[in-house]
Structure 1
Amino acid sequence: MQIYHAFTPDNAVTGSIVVRLYHSSDQVRGYVREVAGLGTEDAIFPGEEMEPEPALRLARDHARNAKVKQVYVELAEGLQWDNAWGVLV
Structure 2
Amino acid sequence: MSLYSLIEAARTPAQAFPAMDKQTKGLWVGVLSAGTVVSLAAFLGMFAFLTILALVAALIFLIDVRPAVRQIGRSGGEGPYGPW
Higher strand share: 1
TM-score normalised to structure 1 length:
0.29
The structure in which a higher percent of residues are helix is: 2
Q: Which has the higher contact order (CA 8 A, sep 6+)?
A: 1
TM-score after normalising by structure 2: 0.30
